[in-house]
Amino acid sequence: MSADRTLAMNAFLTRAGWADAERVPLPGDASTRRYMRLKRGGDTALLMDQPQGEESPDAPANATPAERQALGYNAIARLAGSDCGRFIAAANYLRTLGLSSPEIYAEDAAKGFVLIEDLGDDLYADVLAASGDETALYRAAADVLAKLHARGAPSDLSPGKPLYAYDETALIAEAELLPQWFIPLALGRDASADELAEHRALWRDAIRVQIADRRVFVHRDYHAQNLIWLPGRNGAARVGLIDFQDAVAGPMAYDLISLVEDARRDVDPALAELTTARYLEAMAEQGTPLHPECFSQQKAVFAAQRNAKIVGIFARLFKRDGKPRYLDYLPRVWGYLDRDLEHPALEPLKAWYDRAVPHDARSRRPA
């Protein structure tokens, strides 16, 4: 951290009343955000440090695809980038629903500092690794989604902070990360213009009908590394929510897919089925029932889209950012994607992937 950044952080913590707290850096992730746990007597809080301008900017809600293209990938895919204001707005919105997003204690969005509630260290991933009750935890996570989906997506999370649509431009750009990054890594060549054009057209056909359906708040990274078990709370509030700054208005199936096709841990297919059944049951119980067959097709389409995106992101993290650990997850994600592509609605895309990316290249660790 630069000297200027340290001075700005110290000034922020002084204003927030936490200048004298012990500071413990927390492990980072694939983003440019940094976190620090603050300890003061028996109290704790988390400092989010998001330097502004380190990532390409987002675009206005009414920007055209061409205008988003000119601004870069964050604008195309509707990612928050360096805008910690979207985290603040999403956190506040989720709490209005009775869900456990962190309370915002203090913020300086212009400089990229946010002081938030410390929800603890009991990540789902860690609780499950310590033999936690998978069925209970996944059932609770499904109940959170049902509560979140009881209403449609808001147009604005707060004044000046719209909840962007997870639109065709964003979804196709994400799916295209696979041919753009994994094919060169695995096959030693770029995808051809014809391959890319066909891939784009097939995805456009697959998602066009699905995105016309009812839109809800989509966390976008709803999985065991971003959920915190809070057994001392009640109902859906037992699930702590973090890392939701990239939230969008999108399909109901998307976050369920994130949960049951987790890139970082194996989820037994039987548990995935039980979790899906609980979600559908909870939706019916609250008076917002879904048609099981229609939901199953939406689930397959966005599962395939998400897993194609993740294959591309993990290849990019290795090739561009020098982070080889993400390659360890690729066999699992390809396993999910192969299974997703078996749905009849995705037959043309399955044929494309079988032709463009041979199965031996999917399972072979790139050098």
The DSSP annotation for 274-314 comes to HHHHHHHHHHHHTT----HHHHHHHHHHHHHHHHHHHHHHH
> Domains in the chain, please, with CATH?
1-118 (3.30.200.20), 120-367 (3.90.1200.10)
Enter the pTM of the model: 0.94
∠ Cα 337 135 254 (to 5°): 35
Mean pLDDT by 10 residues, the chain (367 residues): 90 96 83 89 94 73 88 90 90 97 96 96 97 97 98 92 94 97 96 97 93 90 98 97 96 97 96 98 97 95 98 96 94 96 97 96 79
Look at residue 30 in the predicted model and tell me its pLDDT.
Answer: 54
| Res 365: pLDDT | 77
Integer Cα distance of 236 and 98 in angstroms:
8
Nearest to 104 by CA among 245, 7, 230, 215: 245
Residues 213-244: b if buried by 16+ CB within 10 A, e if exposed: eebbbbbbbbbbbbbbbbeeeeebbbbbbbbb
What pLDDT score does 207 carry?
A: 94
Question: Which H or E element spans position 35?
Answer: strand 34-40
Please report the pLDDT score of residue 343 as a whole number: 96
Q: Are 62 and 167 in contact (CB under 8 A)?
A: no
- Neighbour tally for 18: CB within 10 Å: 19
DSSP of 333-359: HHHHHHHHTTSGGGHHHHHHHHHHS-H
- Distance (Å, whole) CA 294 – CA 233: 34
Q: Quote the pLDDT of residue 32.
A: 75
Please give the torsion angle defined by the CA atoms of residues 324, 326, 332 and 335, in that order, rounded to the nearest 10 degrees: -80
